[in-house]
Each structure stands twice: as C-alpha cells, then as structure tokens.
Chains A and B, each alone.
Chain A
Amino acid sequence: MSSDPKLERIAKGNALALCATGTWTASFAPVLERMVADAEKLAGTPQSIFIDVSEVAKLDTFGAWLIERLRRSLTKGPVEAQIAGLSANYSSLVDEVRRVRATAVVDSSPITIAGMLEQIGRAVAGVGGTIAGLVDMLGAVLAAWFRVLIHPRSFRLTSTVHHMEQVCWRAVPIIVLITFLIGCIIAQQGIFHFRRFGADIFVVDMLGVLVLREIGVLLVAIMVAGRSGSAYTAELGSMKMREEIDALRTMGFDPIEVLVLPRMIALVLALPILAFLGAMAALYGGGLVAWLYGGVEPEAFLLRLRDAISIDHFIVGIVKAPVMAAVIGIVACVEGLAVQGSAESLGQHTTASVVKGIFFVIVMDGIFAIFFASIGM
C-alpha cells in the first residue's frame, strides 16, 4: 500500500509541471524534504507552474505542507504556482496548510560572556532577596503564631499532630540507625588513634563532648533538612502549582496559618526530640564499640562519661535544635511558596530548599559555637 513518494518533472514547453506520486506522509518526511528542496532549485522562468498531486496515494500534514512549501518557493515573480488534481478528500487539508503563515522561529539567544557575567550578577543580587524572603517568612510565621495565641481555637491541632507523625515519629528509625553508626565510627577511630599514646579511655571524653555538643544535633538537623525540608517544599510547591493555595486564600484562610504554622511547630518540636534520640543512639553505638573493640567495660565507660561531660554540654547541644528546626522550616516553606507553574521549577526549589537549609544550619552552628565560647559554656 505505502509506496515510495516521488516527484517527477515534466516540462511542457514553457510550462513546468511537477508530478507527485506515492505516499506523502510523516514516515517519508526526510525523503520528501530532500525532494522538495531539490525541486525548489529548479531554474528557469516558465510561464506557468503546476504541481500535479492527482497520483498521490496518501497525504497528511507533513506531505501537504511540503507541497505547499514547494508551491510558495516556486512562486517567484509574476507567475503563481498552482496545485492541480487535488482530490476532494485532501483539498481541505491543503487549504488548511495554506493558511499557515511562514514565521521565522526566534532562536534562543546564544550564550555570551556578557550573558554569563549578567547571570552571576543577578545571582549575587539575589542573595539579598533570599535573606529578605526568609525574614519576611519569619515575621509572617510569628504574626500567625501570635494570632493563634490570642485565638487558640484557630490553632490547627490535627494538622500539627499529622506533621509531627511525619517528621518526628516516622523519622526515628532512620535517625537512630544513622547516629548509632556514626557513634560506632567515632569510637572506633578514636580508639585506633588514641591507642598509640595509651590513651584509649579518652575516647569516652571525645565521644561524649562531640556527640552531645556538636555532631549529634548537627547531623540530625542535616538529615531533617534533607528528609522533611524537601518534603515541605515539594508539598507546598505542588499545592501552589495546582492553585490550591490560591483557593485557600479566596476562602479567607491565611496559607501561613493553615499550612506553614503547623509544619513549623511540628518541626520545632520534632528536632530536639530527634536530636536527643540521636545523641543517645550515638553514645550507645560508641559505648558498644569501645567495649567490643577497645575493651572498655560498660561500667568503666559510664563512670568515665559521667566525669567527662556535664549537663552544660547537653544543654549547648539541645538548645540549638529548635533554632535549626526553625531555619530549616522557614527555608523550606519560602522555597515551596516560590514554586512556579512547571515541574522543573518544583525540582529547582526542592533542591534549593535542601541546599540552603543545610547551609544555614551549618552557619547557625558556627554562630552558636562562637556564642557559647564567649559566654564560657
């Protein structure tokens, strides 16, 4: 049925006739295009030009357009090329493509050095905007919090509990597992290197201080930024994409109060709990390795731990947790609400949420370290 398309030239005196045969469809498009390009180059100034399509077995938009393209390019000067022998079935299709205006498609602008410099400039200028956006969100969340304090009935308990389950309860297994392993690794490395000085027992001091003050909470915050911050951004972002947030607003609800505040509260409560569980798991893991690998008896480990650390270490660690949670939550919600209409935008903002979340967590940790050092804790 489908036969190769052909375009034959039949010169009749001063007239130029082109006879198209075969199947003029998308499957043959590359062949057709080449044939038409060749035919376009036909020289001479005939008095009349005909494109005979009566022998075309099958025609679709590709074929019809190529015939139309040929007709247009052959129409030079006073002579207009005609299409002849069009069957009734295909005439409406050819009429349809005849309406198409040939518009040059604008190419996307090429990459230039100036363009790249401009992008860098915009990105740097964007930093100020990012910080303003975070402060803005912090203010909006605090305002919503005060409104809820004044009208406690508008507090969304069910939503908050739901998010607590998502970010706290369901995160426990993975957080405990990872911090346990980190505790094991710290203890193993400590013992391995301290043994050379005969200072095995000091591994307990290192483990206690490191886990309670720094690693425990920092590691858990980074994991929460990756696990829950990204989820917040994706949730809010897809709600934004499907106009759900606009719908809330038109019903007279404040999206910050309905969507952001419960998530923020859940995260601020969850992170200290997770940090505590994480610290315990890390100490347990460290203790286990110290006993099995370093030969430190559990009783000796506990005694040494009691001497090495004070409640101050624990407080220094745990005080950071809610602040880090607030930073992660605010970054995630700002990014979520900044999502535009496309799937690509959702991906970009989710990535940005995790990257910025982790960055700010580490910056906060540094600020806390300086602060605690200067007040002597």
Chain B
Amino acid sequence: MAAEVQNPIIRVRNVTVQFGSTRVLDGLDLDVKRGEILGFVGPSGAGKSVLTRTIIGLVPKVAGSIEVFGVDLDSSSTSQRRNVERRWGVLFQQGALFSSLTVRQNIQFPMREYLRVSQRLMDEITMAKLTMVGLKPEVAERFPSELSGGMIKRVALARALSLDPDLVFLDEPTSGLDPIGAGDFDDLVRTLQRTLGLTVFMVTHDLDSLYTACDRIAVLGNGKIIAAGSIADMQASQHPWLRQYFHGKRARAVMA
C-alpha cells in the first residue's frame, strides 16, 4: 500500500500512437498522482481524447507502456485487467449511455456485472448517485433519448461512478452545459474527489474548470506533454500557445 501511495496512479511512458502515416502521440510521458484532479488541455485535434482512449485501451499504441494502479496493461492477465477496469470509471464525451436501457438500468449495469447485491440496494444506490449528480429521482425511469444534453452528462457521470471507482476519466465533462451547470459539475467533481478519494483525469477546454477544479494541468502539443504543473506555472509559461490560452480574452474574463 505504501508503495502505491508514492507511485503514480497512471504512468504513461514513451507512448506513440499512429493512424496511418499521421503520428498523433509521439513518445509521450505522463504521470497522474493519486488523489489529484489533472486537467488535460491542448488545441483541438492535438490528441487529448486519443491519449485518454489509449490509456483505457480503446486505441492501440505503436510503442511505449502504460501502467494503471501499478499494473502494466499490456502484460496483464485478463483477470488483472478486469480488476483494473472495475476500479476506473469513464465518462465519454457524448455520454455513451446505453440507449435501450433506462437511466436506472444504465447506472445499475456495472453493479449487476461486478457486485452481488440485492435489487433494493442497487435501487437505493442508484437514487444516491442520481442525487449526487444533481438529478431528480423521477429521471430514473426515462430513456436516454428523453434526456437533455446536460442530463445525459450527469447520468453518464453517475454511471461512471456507480462502482465507486478510484479513478475516473472525464472527456470534456462540462462541454454543452450551461455555466451554472458547469460550475455545479466542477464542484461535484471536487466534492467527489474529496469524499471518495477519487483521482480524476479530466480532458477539458473549460477555463473555469481548470481554475476551480484542477490541482494540476498538463498541456498536450505536437504529440508530447509540453508543460505540466499548477495553474500558476501555466500562467508563467512563455510557450506561445499557453500564453494565448491563459492570457487570451476569455482567460482574462475568468480571472477577473
């Protein structure tokens, strides 16, 4: 356990991802520490989602290694891998809710697979999760096609959290939410991180989220991490893209 505390929860080393002849990630290194909220930024199309999908194993890599919870995902056995998967939750950009299941069934889906608990407890936990993500219990019997964009995000977060994971990947969680909703979402992530000891890997474009929710920020550019550190480090950086990003018109409005 002591070793686990010191070791990063995600350890990405020299990862290269290539689609055809386009190299998206080029020898990328990244550590995510236990218990932190890492904001992951970069220009559109830089490969932020690709890295997220590579870590969770949806995109094959050409070279490099990825360790999550100290388990190398390439050399791990199926049961080790399942164990890791049980301990992480993923919020996809479009929610990726199962469209033929109700909200309740969506949230209970991982519980049914991994836990042997009574229907009553699953229903109660579902209600607890819905309350946590700020939704009313009535939503539980609706289908994803009957939800608004913001509600889909919230339900998807509730599903990502349904097994109380140690690590969550959030792919642009606040995009498509109104500013108040996005602010609530940031608070929610913060609260969950504090209460559940969650580690959060958050791909985002939302400056507010970076300022209010994230402990550390990593910036992706040219297939590598060009900077990583606190928000103050980012503001002090002389990198042209970072200067533009953190000193642009929108950034000034957030800081004011």
Contacts and interface: CB of A to CB of B under 8 A. Distances in A.
Contacts of B164: 25-26, 60-62
B194 A89 contact: yes
B140 A105 contact: yes
A100 B121 contact: no
A69 B123 CA distance: 13
Given A60-B164, A105-B104, A341-B145, A29 B115 contact: yes
A33 B121 contact: yes
B89 to A, nearest CB: 12
Contact of A344 (B99, B132, B141): B99
A340 B145 contact: yes
Question: Residue among A26, A89, A103 with the most chain B CB within 10 A?
Answer: A26
Contacts of A92: 191, 194-195
Interface in A60-116: 60-62, 65-66, 69, 89-90, 92-93, 96-97, 99-103, 105-106
B108 to A, nearest CB: 10
Contact of B116 (A30, A62, A89): A30
Question: Residue among B98, B124, B140 with the most chain A CB within 10 A?
Answer: B124
B131 A93 contact: no
Contacts of A90: 195
A101 B191 CA distance: 20
Contacts of A117: none
B1 A1 contact: yes
B140 A341 contact: no
A34 to B, nearest CB: 10
B256 interface: no
A29 B100 CA distance: 27
A33 B143 contact: no
A92 B117 CA distance: 25
A11 interface: no
Contacts of B100: 342-345
A1 B3 CA distance: 13
B173 interface: no
B128 A65 contact: yes
A69 B124 contact: yes
A89 B196 CA distance: 8
B210 interface: no
Given A92-B191, A100-B128, A102-B127, A341 B99 contact: yes
Contacts of B132: 61, 96
A344 to B, nearest CB: 4
Contacts of B78: none
Nearest to B138: A103
Contacts of A33: 117-118, 121
Given A30-B115, A90-B195, A97-B128, 16 more contacts: A26-B163, A29-B115, A30-B117, A61-B128, A62-B125, A65-B121, A65-B124, A66-B121, A89-B195, A96-B132, A96-B191, A100-B124, A341-B99, A342-B145, A343-B99, A345-B100
Interface of A: 1, 25-27, 29-30, 33, 60-62, 65-66, 69, 89-90, 92-93, 96-97, 99-103, 105-106, 340-345
24 contacts: A29-B116, A29-B117, A30-B116, A30-B117, A33-B118, A60-B196, A61-B196, A62-B121, A65-B121, A65-B125, A89-B197, A92-B191, A92-B195, A96-B131, A96-B132, A96-B191, A102-B127, A105-B123, A340-B145, A341-B146, A342-B143, A343-B99, A344-B99, A345-B99
